[in-house]
A and B are shown apart, each in its own frame.
Chain A
Amino acid sequence: MLSLITKFKDFAKAMRFASFAIVSVCVCSNASFGKTDSSENARTEARFKAAYLAHLLHYSTWNEEDLPSADSTVGLAVVGEDKHHFAQVLLYLIDELKITIQGRKVKVFSLARIPDADEEKEMFKDCAVVYFLQSEINRWSECTLCDKKGVLAIGEGSKYAREGACVSIVRSRNRVKLLINREGYASRNLKVSSRLLRLRSAVDLYKKGG
């Protein structure tokens, strides 16, 4: 027992040093280096989100009437300020892995911002998916063209799903996950797979008032 206590005392000395070192690092890191934009982290996050989006296409079902003919191409629009080349990341994934939407090839477009109410009403005419980047989060509620039937509306940030979009891709606790609004799907004539909804480790369900 005595030797155990002695051993633990020696260990505790080492731990005091380790604790001091850890605290020093934390203090130094926060005192000396404020938050700076790390584009590598943002690019990593973009890759995660692109992988999620590609999976999501597989778990979503469109009404055939809302899609063009089987040998046509459908559009996937990326809306907003694309600082980290999310559209290119998505295009690479779609091209390399030959991702389709119910057999239709996918073409990726970019749109600089959410359109105003008086801008062309057919903006998303040929799009089956519209992905809203974080830059548009505050304009989402003003968007009158964003609830078109047959268009899967996905946004970066939980506000999108809470305010009517089908899915939000959110980053929380150093992970990327999905927040799904089933009403968002239903109102756009879309279906989401129950297999996806059961993946609680990857998916949260948005409940109104919750």
Chain B
Amino acid sequence: MKSFLVFFFFRSSVRMGLLFFLLPVLSYGQEPIGSVEANATLPKLELVPIERNDDALTPFEKSELRRLFGLDLRELARRPVRGVLGYEQEYWRNPASVHVLRPDDVSLNGHVLTVEALRGVPGMHVTRGLGYDDFAIMRNFSGSSTEKFLAMVDGREVLQIMGGTVNATGEGVPLEILDRVEIIRGPGASIWGTNAVSGVYNIVTKSAAATQGDSVRLVIRDDGTFLGDYVHGGQAGEDAFYRVWFRDQEYAEGTLNSGLSAKDDGSFRKLGFRYDKTLSRDLDFTFAGALGKRRVHHVLDLSQRLYYPTEPATPVDAALLQGLPGAVGVPITWPPSRDSDLSMPADYTRYEYWGEMPHDASHLRAKLSGVTDSDLEWSLAGYAEQYKTFLGHVGRRWERKEYDLDFKANKPIGDRHHLAFGLATRHMDFDVEDVMTPPWKFDTNDTWGTPATDITVLDHGDSPTKFDRFSAFFQDSYEFSDSILLSAGAKFEESDLAGSGVQPGARLSWAVNKTNVLWSAYSRAYRTPSLVERYSKVSYARVWVPTKGIWLNQSFPGNSNLEKEETDAFEVGWRSQPWVDFTAELSLYHYDTSNAIFSGPPNYEPHDVKTTGGELTFDYSPFHYWTLKGGVSRTISKKEGVETDNFPKTLANVSSHLRLRDDLIFSQNFYYAADRTIAGESYNPIPIPAHLRMDLGFIWRPDESLEVGLFGRDLLDPHHPENMYQDLELEPARVERSFLLSITKRF
């Protein structure tokens, strides 16, 4: 017992002793909270040189830092520190497939207009038609001409609800005032709005303060096409700036695929202004507007519109030649035919009617925006727009007046949430007048056999002309951690054209490590059918009834029962920046669409469409004097289970800029589009072969005030076709090899 007690006491003493001596060692470096030990001395204070540690910043952060420094102080002051997912398009954790174009993407690549630069965006297919119409389609959706994405300029929707198209030329702005174009591939309805089914593009212009002084840009093509922009900016008092600009574009006549002249020469002139004033700290006012006038002619091909009733139907000229009983020729109101070496169906004679197509558009935009002390950012914007056009080739004159009011706000809540919400209302008022065009001014009978002399090609009839829309959205972005972000929201809408609807969306972003981000998204979006699809009766064919000696009109009514197209979209993406000079992105998507409408009469029946595809893009600067960008996209679409071929399944592009000297850049651009077919309900389908386009250019920038560019475009072949309005035009125009000089001077 005694030994045990001694051992126990000894063991305890050793433990206590060890504790007594070890405690100071364990405590070393840990300053007791709220106290300093007596007689303790602080380490010697000295300046420590910082050695560069490349791991301190991720490549994503380095890129962002360079971009921030590239902003001037005024722009930096406007930039929110914490943004809303879906708004901050250049944020690497953004769970969406985003591409940003800048003015250099237009000027260094020899593009005349901003819309042409969309050719360099993987997943987008941009084609040129007659009359310098540019068609821009995204992710194999909808056919050849109808845009099923939301197009905006400074927040103003520019989709023409009449035909479901965008007048890209008419909505263009001078390059000098362009800040960027944000392209979001994939539905973004919860933030952006209706019709953002395949995506969104948003043209953002610079503030008036950022375009002070004068600048002139001239672009001249070898065929005589000319573009001139003049921009003047000045100060209108303390904290107030203004800008005015003028554009003149003259189109030279193009050539059809057969070699005939396209008769599409014309002009476009536009005037614009902007006034910005800082009313008080973090309260800004903007007032802007523009007025544009475009004058071109457009063609309606008549060659296959008058038939003799055989099976299949025979054109009347051919019936006459074949000696079919009672056959007659075309009415005398028809224009004389043009010879064509186009391989047309046997015995078809070519007839065309050109009508003038004047187009006047004007808009005003006012916006008040601010930030409160509680970090609530808000904006209240109003738009008024008037659009007048006459489609002389089909005899439709229409005017649209539109008024919009839009309130948006966002606010960080705590350290992890960021809420965005908004309300909007729109009122549209149409005045539609359909007139007879000369070729159709001959006696006919309507569908029921009643004589009629005034059947127009398009007939809006008594269909509605006033439409209202109310909408609201909210979205919450939540940071689970520094690497996981979730954004969820919905848009609610009540509209005369689409009824009531909810468009929800959820997006998740995961920064796997310092150089890789994965994201995924689900969205539901819908598209409103155009007014033509819903309400226009199209009468552009007549059948000769020999037994009665009468013409019988063929009408194809619109479908007023068309419901909105609804798309469920599933997307995943991977974004990698292993080092600051190299970025790669992969996006994969699957869209499941019901009630999809494919553009063009006479058939406006809805279809189920499934579209699957992906885009791979890269951005690489192997050396400080060489930058490479590019991408490839692949997409397959099935309509009612049958694969469609009206969109190229593969698209690719590469852009290379080599700085030969400090003031000289050599630009090389390659664009590839796989083959496709322009389907024709009434006409033979037109195959558009696969084509590879090469553009080369030299750009000389001796200083910041002058830029001279010389470009050769489509150098690999003399010409190729790209697109046309199916069922209106017989053949597409040639997109020809061309040479272009551009000069930009700032004063």
Of residues 38 through 95 on chain B, the ones whose CB sits less than 8 Å from some CB of chain A are 43, 45-50, 52-53, 56-57, 61-62, 64-66, 68-69, 71-74, 76-82
Q: What separation, in Å, do the CA atoms of A120 and B73 have in the docked complex? A: 37
B472: contacting residue among A18, A115, A123, CB under 8 A: A18
A137, CB-defined interface residue at 8 Å: no
B371: contacting residue among A18, A54, A175, CB under 8 A: A175
Q: B468: which A residues are within 8 A, CB to CB?
A: 4, 7
B416, CB-defined interface residue at 8 Å: yes
A37: contacting residue among B238, B415, B470, B474, CB under 8 A: B415
Of residues 200 through 222 on chain B, the ones whose CB sits less than 8 Å from some CB of chain A are none
Q: Are B73 and A199 in contact (CB under 8 A)?
A: yes
Given known pairs A4-B468, A7-B468, the reply for A36 and B416 (CB within 8 Å) is yes
CB B220 to nearest CB in A, in angstroms, measures: 37
Q: What separation, in Å, do the CA atoms of A15 and B423 have in the docked complex? A: 9
- Please classify the interface of chain B as helix (H, G, I), strand (E, B), loop, or mixed, using the class held by over half of its residues: mixed
B494, CB-defined interface residue at 8 Å: yes
Closest to B51 in A: A91
A63-71, A104-112, A146-154 - interface stretch: A104-112
Of residues 120 through 151 on chain A, the ones whose CB sits less than 8 Å from some CB of chain B are 120, 123, 127
B500, CB-defined interface residue at 8 Å: yes
Q: What separation, in Å, do the CA atoms of A22 and B49 have in the docked complex? A: 50
CB A137 to nearest CB in B, in angstroms, measures: 18
Q: B284: which A residues are within 8 A, CB to CB?
A: 201
B417, CB-defined interface residue at 8 Å: yes
Closest to B489 in A: A21
A192, CB-defined interface residue at 8 Å: no
Q: Are B50 and A22 in contact (CB under 8 A)?
A: no
Q: What separation, in Å, do the CA atoms of A81 and B45 have in the docked complex? A: 13
Of residues 1 through 53 on chain A, the ones whose CB sits less than 8 Å from some CB of chain B are 4, 7-8, 10-11, 14-15, 17-18, 21-22, 25-26, 29-30, 33-41, 43-45, 47-48, 50-52
Q: What separation, in Å, do the CA atoms of A68 and B62 have in the docked complex? A: 31
Q: What separation, in Å, do the CA atoms of A175 and B73 have in the docked complex? A: 12
Q: What separation, in Å, do the CA atoms of A174 and B708 have in the docked complex? A: 41
Q: What separation, in Å, do the CA atoms of A128 and B53 have in the docked complex? A: 23
Given known pairs A48-B68, A119-B45, the reply for A87 and B371 (CB within 8 Å) is no
CB A145 to nearest CB in B, in angstroms, measures: 11
Q: What separation, in Å, do the CA atoms of A35 and B56 have in the docked complex? A: 26
B65: contacting residue among A26, A93, A113, A176, CB under 8 A: A93
Q: Are A85 and B494 in contact (CB under 8 A)?
A: no
A55, CB-defined interface residue at 8 Å: yes
Closest to B72 in A: A55
Q: What separation, in Å, do the CA atoms of A88 and B412 have in the docked complex? A: 27
Closest to A56 in B: B73
B311, CB-defined interface residue at 8 Å: no
Q: B417: which A residues are within 8 A, CB to CB?
A: 25, 29, 33
Given known pairs A26-B419, A92-B52, the reply for A7 and B76 (CB within 8 Å) is no
Q: B478: which A residues are within 8 A, CB to CB?
A: 29
Residue from B61, B65, B278 having most chain A Cβ neighbours under 10 A: B65
Q: Are B65 and A50 in contact (CB under 8 A)?
A: yes
B482, CB-defined interface residue at 8 Å: yes
- Hey, what's the 0/1 contact readout for A198-210 against B, CB within 8 Å counting as 1? 0111111000000
Q: A39: which B residues are within 8 A, CB to CB?
A: 482
A108: contacting residue among B49, B73, B79, B282, CB under 8 A: B49
Q: Are A201 and B74 in contact (CB under 8 A)?
A: yes
Residue from B46, B47, B377, B494 having most chain A Cβ neighbours under 10 A: B47
Q: A18: which B residues are within 8 A, CB to CB?
A: 421, 472, 474, 492
CB B377 to nearest CB in A, in angstroms, measures: 7
A97, CB-defined interface residue at 8 Å: yes
B29, CB-defined interface residue at 8 Å: no
Q: Are A92 and B62 in contact (CB under 8 A)?
A: yes
Given known pairs A11-B494, A201-B78, the reply for A97 and B50 (CB within 8 Å) is no
CB A56 to nearest CB in B, in angstroms, measures: 9
- Hey, what's the 0/1 contact readout for B466-492 against A, CB within 8 Å counting as 1? 001010101010110010000000001
Q: What separation, in Å, do the CA atoms of A55 and B80 have in the docked complex? A: 18
Q: Are A88 and B416 in contact (CB under 8 A)?
A: no
Q: What separation, in Å, do the CA atoms of A54 and B496 have in the docked complex? A: 53
Q: What separation, in Å, do the CA atoms of A33 and B479 have in the docked complex? A: 11
A196, CB-defined interface residue at 8 Å: yes
Q: Are B47 and A175 in contact (CB under 8 A)?
A: no
Q: Are A199 and B65 in contact (CB under 8 A)?
A: no
Q: What separation, in Å, do the CA atoms of A95 and B414 have in the docked complex? A: 35
Given known pairs A35-B414, A113-B45, the reply for A173 and B371 (CB within 8 Å) is yes
Q: Are A30 and B81 in contact (CB under 8 A)?
A: no
Q: What separation, in Å, do the CA atoms of A85 and B416 have in the docked complex? A: 22
Closest to B479 in A: A38
Q: What separation, in Å, do the CA atoms of A113 and B44 have in the docked complex? A: 11
A41: contacting residue among B49, B82, B413, B470, CB under 8 A: B82
Given known pairs A107-B49, A111-B48, A174-B375, the reply for A22 and B419 (CB within 8 Å) is yes
Q: Are B375 and A40 in contact (CB under 8 A)?
A: no
Q: Are B282 and A173 in contact (CB under 8 A)?
A: yes
B13, CB-defined interface residue at 8 Å: no
Q: What separation, in Å, do the CA atoms of A47 and B413 have in the docked complex? A: 21
Q: A55: which B residues are within 8 A, CB to CB?
A: 69, 72-73, 76
Closest to A115 in B: B45
B48: contacting residue among A97, A109, A176, CB under 8 A: A109
Q: What separation, in Å, do the CA atoms of A25 and B490 have in the docked complex? A: 13
Q: A43: which B residues are within 8 A, CB to CB?
A: 61
Q: What separation, in Å, do the CA atoms of A115 and B81 have in the docked complex? A: 32
B494: contacting residue among A14, A34, A95, A108, CB under 8 A: A14
Q: What separation, in Å, do the CA atoms of A190 and B71 have in the docked complex? A: 25
| A residues neighboring B (CB under 8 Å) | 4, 7-8, 10-11, 14-15, 17-18, 21-22, 25-26, 29-30, 33-41, 43-45, 47-48, 50-52, 54-55, 75, 77-78, 85, 87-89, 91-93, 95-97, 107-113, 115, 119-120, 123, 127, 171-177, 196, 199-204
Query: Which 3 interchain pairs have the tightest Cβ spacing?
Result: A202-B77, A88-B56, A51-B68
15 pairs across A/B with beta carbons < 8 Å?
A7-B468, A18-B474, A22-B474, A29-B417, A30-B413, A41-B81, A52-B73, A55-B72, A89-B65, A91-B50, A173-B373, A200-B238, A201-B284, A202-B73, A204-B281
**6 more A-B residue pairs beyond the given contacts A88-B57, A110-B47, A115-B45, with a C-beta to C-beta distance below 8 A:** A29-B414, A39-B482, A52-B73, A176-B76, A200-B239, A201-B77
| B residues neighboring A (CB under 8 Å) | 43, 45-50, 52-53, 56-57, 61-62, 64-66, 68-69, 71-74, 76-82, 238-239, 278, 281-282, 284, 371-373, 375, 377, 412-417, 419, 421, 423, 468, 470, 472, 474, 476, 478-479, 482, 492, 494, 496, 500
